[in-house]
Structure formats: C-alpha cells, structure tokens
Structure 1
Amino acid sequence: MMPPQPAVTGQTYAVVVGISDYQALTYANGDLRYADKDARQFIQFLQSRWGGRVATSHIRLLTNRQATSANIFEALRLFRKADAGDRVILYFSGHGMPDSLVPYDAQPGDDTRLLTYRAIKAAFHASKASTKLCITDACLSGGMTQSTQSQTLAESIAREGGKTGTVAMLLASRSTESAVETGRLAGGAFTHYLLKGLYGQADLNRDKIVTIRELHRYVSPQVKQITRGKQAPVFYGRFSDDLALSHL
C-alpha cells in the first residue's frame, strides 16, 4: 500500500475570504454572522503545524468591507507566485449563487462584481502549482460540479493544468442547498467540522495524517446530522483519495 501524499511538498499560497457584513444587506435581509470568523479560523489552521505553518506573506485575508470584487481579484494574483510542487488554496465563506460567489460590494441586479466560477478557473489556470484546492462555505456551492459545455469547473482546471495536477473542491453543499450557520457551533456547519477534521477528528485510521477521503467521511455525516439532512457537503475534482491535507 502506497503511503499518503504529503500535505505540502513545496510552498502554500492561500487567498482566504470571509464576508458576514455585505454592503447591500442587513441582518434583517441576508447578512451572515460567522463567515469572517470562519475565515480567520481557517488561517489559524494554515499557520499551525497541522496546516503546514504557512508563512503570513503567503496568505491574503479579506473580510467584510475588504472583500470587494476588485480586492479579491487582486488577491488571486498571489497564485501566480506558485511553482510546480507548490499548493494554492482559495477559501471562501459567504453568500453563493448558482454560478458564482458573492463579494462584499455586489449589488442586486448587477452581475459585474460577482466572483464567477469562470474567474476562479482563470485564477487557478494562471498558477503553476501542482495542487489546487478550492474550499467554499457558501450556499449552492455544489454548482461548481455542474457541467458547462460538457465539462465541470474541476475537470476544466485539471485538464488545462496538465495531467499530473491535483484539483480538489471541498464544497459546503449541493448545487440546490443552502450552507447553514448555527449559533450552537458559532460558525458555519461546514467550516466547523472541516476544521475539527483537519485538527485530528478525521484521522480515522490513527496514522497521524488526515487524507481527503478521511476528511469527507468525517465531515459529511456530521454536517448532515446537525443540519437535519438539509446540507450535504461535496468533495469533487481530480485527486488521489490519499491526498494528505493535515499532519498531526
């Protein structure tokens, strides 16, 4: 049996976005409560030994009013610094739409400021990184797995990135489902269990490595249970089941 792939073979570059307070929304009509907190907690994981001690200079954090469309697109240019053998990560917690993620300054009826899946594809395609991870805690995020011109976003990124590339999409919900926040967890259900899994709860065989398969096997039932079946995470892309995401 082959050993699991290392969590990080080179450098890691991460763009982390969390938006609770939207420009066009209020708590009465759609603002979130914990998305910015979830983003900060994800960075804490990246900078921990479990996440590979990623350098601060390799991380771009955008929360709330910082997370404008222009700022997100500028931050994604960080991925161009990665070389073969490196890893790039986009983490987004906030509102989602069937074909896009929603920046802070998006306005109803104006699609020009949305972070479309096509734009995400372009940002990943511009990177030479061997491993590309897209993690979204957003409603309808499973839409990334839907075919466009007979090809999903993940398949398109993988194909254009070369046959040896790894592309993994860790998505909070199916394409028709909401992503639930809960006061009981003080965060998004998906991110809460994602991080618990990465910190060790998902190490099902106790080998001190959390693989992507183990993470899915841990996160999915936990999220389904706490949301009473209303939310089912989706892990999708082109990757080995033994892709290591955390070392304990």
Structure 2
Amino acid sequence: MRGLKEGRGRFYYANGNSLEGEWLAGEYVGNDLEFAAQVGCISGNCTNGKGVYVFPDRKGKYVGYFVDGLPHGEGVVVYRNGDRYEGQLLGGKLTGKGTYFYYDGKQTDGYWNNGSYEGQQKPNAAKYTYEAVHRPALGAHDAKVWAVIVGIAQYNHMPVLRYTDDDAYRMYAFFKSPEGGALADEHIRILIDEEATKTKIKAAMEEVFSQAGANDLVILYFSGHGLRGSFLPIDYDGYNNKFYHEEINAILKASPAKFKLCIADACHSGSLLAMRDGAIENILADYYESLAQAAPSTALIMSSKSEETSLESNSLRQGVFSHFLIRGLKGEGDANRDGVIALQELFDYIRSNVRSYTGMRQSPLITGSYDINMPIAVVRQ
C-alpha cells in the first residue's frame, strides 16, 4: 500500500535479526496470537498522538492519530472480514476524505460524514459534525479567536492543485480542537473550492473579523494559487477577480481585534511584504490568558519568498509549508517547552523545517508589527 509494509510478513534487520507478524500502514501491529489476545491500545499513544488500537470485540484494528482517546485525523481501519478504510476520521467516525476497500476487491472513494458515505463530490464543511468541546466561561476582558480558512484546488484557469483543499480541512480541524481554541461555529468559516469566490471570501472575512473584540485574535489562512500582489479565488478567470493583498490588509486593519494574523500557503505570497504598515478547560484557559497578555500585533506568515514556488509533496500528501505549520501548531513548535506556542517559535520551526525539507528551495517569511510572544496555540500536557 503506497510503498508501506502491509499485511503479514517477516522484516529482516541489517544485523540479521528479524520480526514476524502483521503490518498496517507501515506500522508493526503484532501477530495473529497477539491480535487474538490483546485489545485496546497495543502500541503508541492512543490518547493524544499516534497509536495502534484493537477494538474491544477483536473485530478490527485502527492505526492512526487520536484526540481525547478517539480516532481523529488520518488513519487506517482494518476489519476482521478483510475490509479496510484509509482516510480521515473525526471523533471516532469515518468523516472526511477516504477510501473504503472491500474484501472482494471493490472500493468506494469519496467523502464520508459520521460513518456514512456522502459521495465523490466534496460536501460543504458545515455538514461535517464535530463533537462539542466544553469551553471555559470567558469574561468581558478575555480574548477570543476568529478565523477564516480558505483552500482552493480545482481551479478552472490555473493548474489544479493536489492538497490545498485537504490542508484547509486540517487547519479547520485544528482550530476546532482545544489546542487551537476550540472555536465555536460562529467564530470560524471555511471556504473550499467552488465556495471560495472573491465575493464570498471577502464577505466571510468582513463578517467574522468585524465581530472581534478589542482583545481578540483574527486569523486568515489561505491555501491556493497566488500571483504577485494577490491571492487567486476560484473564480479567477485569468484577469478578473484577483484578491489583492491591499484589500486583505484593509479588512484586517478595519477589524477591532488586538491581534491579526495572515497565513498564506501560495506562490508569490512573499509579495505581501510590500504591505508593511492539562484538562481541556485548563488548556483553553491558558491559551486565552496568554493571548490577553501579549502586546498588540499584526503578523503575516508567508510560505515562500515572492520569487519562489510553494511546493507540494507526494510523500507528505500536503503542501510542505502547511505540513510543518500544522505540526508546529500541534506541539513541535514549542521550542521552550512552556506549553504555549508563540508566534516567533512557530515561525522559526516552520522556516527551519521547510528550508531543510525543500533543500533551501522554499524559504517562509514573516513580517509585520507583532509581539514575538503572541500565543497561537497551546500544547496538551
């Protein structure tokens, strides 16, 4: 499966030792006897991390990512009857993009919601159901987070991109998580492909960002094509409907929010530089408390310099920039291990890893008048 060890076999090490048993998505998950004898988490971190889990009825295994003890993110489910699902899960349910392989060789590709097949057309993100996350009560002076997420792959007048829409869904899932602020539905908008017209992106930004209070953080994430001085919405026709950076900057400037962050995974995003002007409740409380203590900020993080191309990776199945952005947000960017991922920490992590991964062909940039300690995410302890 995609060059990964899959099924039963024996692996030989360079020192002559060997390991016999079953592999799933490249991970060793034991042998048949272990499968029959063990249930629950048999390898890794099945609470908040990556692990291998055998269902209590011993009728299947899951290998992938977990949040709050439930399969959540990219993973593989193998059932005892030989069926297999590879793709995205949310809250333990097949939700998102995935492929279901039947034991007889047939397969079903497309999008799933709450365990049900939705079809090959990508549904509106609002159809996806997320388990509610309890948020601590916020006082009048506490900070809130507001976000607009845009991902465009299926361009009509530009080359089709492979992973920009999936990157946007991953960012949306992050901001719905405790580490990302557990944003309520009214605090976040996601626009994918045909929904991401210039008019709709602009309207979403104006609507969401205008609601922000004086202590709040507003975030725009854009993943798609860009030309010098602009992002390209889905309705860009080769000339009309460019979303100019000056327009984006004006909307950010008009927001009453104390903190403003634009994250762009797009070619020529670097031309934005021309605009220089423990418990879930405790996790969230720490995040918003840290946010309230930071100095006023406006920051722009760009995936590449203006003359560079923002790269996608077949092996990562993501844009390189967005891959390390999400990894950094999920905890790897916490350089000083204080449990809060600050803006400068996040950028330093992204820049170092993107430059290394691309052989210096892509160099993310940051600019603006910003507090380097502005908190962007928290790490679950």
TM-score by length of 2: 0.56
Cα displacement string for residues 18-59 of structure 1 (whole angstroms, at most 9, x for unaligned residues)? 00101224xxxx110000110110111111111111112111
In structure 1, what is the equivalent of residue 378 of structure 2?
247
Question: Aligned equivalents of 1:65 and 1:119: distance in 2?
Answer: 21
Is the 2:147–2:189 contact (alpha carbons within 8 Å) kept by the matching residues of 1? yes
**Percent identity for Structure 1 against Structure 2:** 36
Is the 1:154–1:168 contact (alpha carbons within 8 Å) kept by the matching residues of 2? no
Count of matched residue positions in the alignment of Structure 1 and Structure 2: 221
2:243 is aligned, of 110, 115, 118, to 115
Question: Secondary structure, in 3 states, of the residue corresponding to 1:215?
Answer: helix
* 1:176-187 pair list within 5 angstroms: 176-187=307-318
For the structure 1 residues 190 and 9, does the alpha-carbon distance in structure 2 shift closer, same or farther, using more than 3 Å as the test? farther
1:45 is aligned, of 151, 167, 174, to 174
In structure 1, what is the equivalent of residue 255 of structure 2?
127
In structure 2, what is the equivalent of residue 159 of structure 1?
none
Q: Unmatched 5+ residue regions in structure 1?
A: 1-7, 147-152, 156-163
State the one-letter code of the partner of 1:130: K
Compare relative contact order (CA 8 Å, sep 6+) and give the higher one, 1 or 2.
Answer: 1
Structure showing the higher strand proportion among its residues: 2
Q: Unmatched 5+ residue regions in structure 2?
A: 1-140, 278-294
The 4+ residue runs of structure 1 with deviation greater than 2 A are none
Structure 1 range deviating more: 235-244 or 35-44:
235-244
Matched, 1:97 2:227: yes
* 1:6-25 pair list within 5 angstroms: 9-25=142-158
Question: Aligned equivalents of 1:238 and 1:9: distance in 2?
Answer: 22
1:106 is aligned, of 236, 240, 250, to 236
In structure 1, what is the equivalent of residue 304 of structure 2?
173
Question: Aligned equivalents of 2:299 and 2:253: distance in 1?
Answer: 14
Question: Secondary structure, in 3 states, of the residue corresponding to 1:167?
Answer: strand
State the one-letter code of the partner of 1:183: N
State the one-letter code of the partner of 2:349: Y
Cα displacement string for residues 98-149 of structure 1 (whole angstroms, at most 9, x for unaligned residues)? 10000001011x2x30110111012112210000000000011111112xxx
State the one-letter code of the partner of 1:120: I
Structure 1 range deviating more: 209-218 or 127-136:
209-218
Is the 2:197–2:234 contact (alpha carbons within 8 Å) kept by the matching residues of 1? yes
Is the 2:232–2:242 contact (alpha carbons within 8 Å) kept by the matching residues of 1? yes
Cα displacement string for residues 81-106 of structure 1 (whole angstroms, at most 9, x for unaligned residues)? 11201111110000011100000010
Question: Secondary structure, in 3 states, of the residue corresponding to 1:85?
Answer: coil
Question: Aligned equivalents of 1:50 and 1:42: distance in 2?
Answer: 12
Question: Aligned equivalents of 1:205 and 1:214: distance in 2?
Answer: 8
* 1:28-67 pair list within 5 angstroms: 30-67=159-196
State the one-letter code of the partner of 1:180: L
Is the 1:23–1:65 contact (alpha carbons within 8 Å) kept by the matching residues of 2? no
Question: Secondary structure, in 3 states, of the residue corresponding to 1:21?
Answer: coil
In structure 2, what is the equivalent of residue 213 of structure 1?
344
Question: Aligned equivalents of 1:210 and 1:154: distance in 2?
Answer: 24
Is the 2:153–2:160 contact (alpha carbons within 8 Å) kept by the matching residues of 1? yes
Question: Aligned equivalents of 2:178 and 2:276: distance in 1?
Answer: 28
Question: Secondary structure, in 3 states, of the residue corresponding to 1:134?
Answer: strand
* 1:66-77 pair list within 5 angstroms: 66-77=195-206
In structure 2, what is the equivalent of residue 85 of structure 1?
215
Task: State the 1:165 CA deviation.
Answer: 3.2
Question: Secondary structure, in 3 states, of the residue corresponding to 2:179?
Answer: coil
Larger Rg computed on CA atoms = 2
Question: Secondary structure, in 3 states, of the residue corresponding to 1:242?
Answer: coil
Question: Aligned equivalents of 2:202 and 2:372: distance in 1?
Answer: 31
In structure 1, what is the equivalent of residue 110 of structure 2?
none
